[in-house]
């Protein structure tokens, strides 16, 4: 009981320290940003904000990127190398996210943890299309999923955008997040 909690606490603290979220048991700027978000993807989203990974994106590109962090694939493993992304910027940001995700997963593994969910690719096109104004009835659910799964992914995307709005300080990104929330919000 108690020993397991101590061991897990020390492991989480070590991962957060090694990942740059804690220093001398105090949150860094990156750690405070991550703490202002909630959900399994908070660490990666915070890194993306601090690293300016979303800079220069259109709202539909940000939607397609963030949905990778908040949606859950339907239990299929597919290689992303054969995957077509809606724009080169979404593909490039996916590669950056994949590298950061791998780094965090490696830190967790080194400390006996495994909390990160894999990046989701199933709803990238649906989120992009939704933000581009494609009607719900015309969105193509991924194989093995239905429109309800698409709606759930879009709702998770909307939730993370609502969390980001007050957390983001940089004006360009703040405008992008607000515009993306606006296009995701339609018909919700």
Q: What are phi and psi of 27, to 5 degrees?
A: -65, 135
Question: pTM here?
Answer: 0.93
Tokens 């494609």, residue located:
134
What are the C-alpha distances in Å from 121 to residues 16, 27, 39, 185? 26, 31, 18, 21
Do the bridges between strand 22-23 and strand 26-27 make them parallel or antiparallel, or are there none, so unpaired? antiparallel
| Torsion, CA 70, CA 134, CA 62, CA 147, rounded to 10 | 10
- pLDDT single digits (tens) 74-110: 755 555 545 889 999 999 999 999 999 999 999 999 9
């Amino acid at each position: 009981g108690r020993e397991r909690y101590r061991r897990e606490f020390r492991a989480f603290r070590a991962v957060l320290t090694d990942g740059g979220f804690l220093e001398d048991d105090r949150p860094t700027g990156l750690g405070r940003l991550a703490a202002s978000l909630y959900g399994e993807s908070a660490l990666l989203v915070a890194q993306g904000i601090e690293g300016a990974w979303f800079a220069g994106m259109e709202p539909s590109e940000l939607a397609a990127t963030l949905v990778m962090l908040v949606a859950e694939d339907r239990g299929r493993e597919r290689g992303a190398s054969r995957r077509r992304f809606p724009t080169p910027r979404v593909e490039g940001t996916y590669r950056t996210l994949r590298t950061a995700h791998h780094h965090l997963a490696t830190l967790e593994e080194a400390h006996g943890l495994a909390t990160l969910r894999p990046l989701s690719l199933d709803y990238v096109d649906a989120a992009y299309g939704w933000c581009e104004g494609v009607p719900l009835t015309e969105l193509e659910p991924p194989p093995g999923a239905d429109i309800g799964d698409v709606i759930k992914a879009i709702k998770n995307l909307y939730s993370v955008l609502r969390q980001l709005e007050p957390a983001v300080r940089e004006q360009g990104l703040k405008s992008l997040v607000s515009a993306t929330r606006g296009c995701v919000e339609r018909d919700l």
